Amino acid sequence: MKEQGLYIIKQDFLDLVLSLGGNCDIANGTRRPVYCCLKDSIIEGLYWAIPTSDLNHRSPAQISKYYDYIQKPDDDLRSCYYHIGRTTKSALYKISSCFPITDKYIDHEFTTNGVHVIIRRAETVKEIRRKLARILAFESRRPNYFSQHISDIKNYLVTELQE
């Protein structure tokens, strides 16, 4: 995987999340691109991914909710749940829905006009990394706090990588 690249994940991964008691957006199936934001600093082969989408199909109420959370004070963890970045259009990064992932569960690169989509805007990457670090720090203090069960997925993937 390339850091900051968008990928389509395999259905097997969504099934894995569900089997571990987590919740995921299985309705989108294998069409869900994920933003692979950074390699884990300790575990070789583990990446942190953030579901992405554009805002075009979101209702005004949903968009208002995202901005409400983003504008919360920095000491409020909810301010890190989402990020709205700009590429050729507004892109929503659902940071609180992040999950660990490995190459095994990547189906293929997400492309536009045959070119792999890589997030290149430095300020977007910096802000996503900052928010992700806060989410993961909170998760380390309260395992499986988020609905996707980040800790259980990570533990499973670490075991799988070691085998």
- Whether the pLDDT of residue 11 is over 60: the answer is yes
Alpha-carbon distance values, 72 to 76, 95, 101 (Å): 6, 15, 29
Q: Looking at residues 47-53, what average pLDDT do you find?
A: 91
- Whether the pLDDT of residue 27 is over 80: the answer is no
**Structural domain spans, the chain:** 5-162
Cα of first residue to Cα of last residue in the chain, in angstroms, is 20
pLDDT of residue 134: 97
Residue (of 32, 146, 59, 138) closest to 96 by Cα position = 146
- Whether the pLDDT of residue 103 is over 60: the answer is yes
Task: Domain 5-162: give its CATH code.
Answer: 3.10.129.130
- Whether the pLDDT of residue 107 is over 80: the answer is yes
Confidence of residue 90 (pLDDT cuts 50, 70, 90): confident
The answer to which of 16-30, 93-107, 112-126, 134-148 has the lowest mean pLDDT is 16-30
pTM of this prediction exceeds 0.95? no
- Whether the pLDDT of residue 91 is over 60: the answer is yes
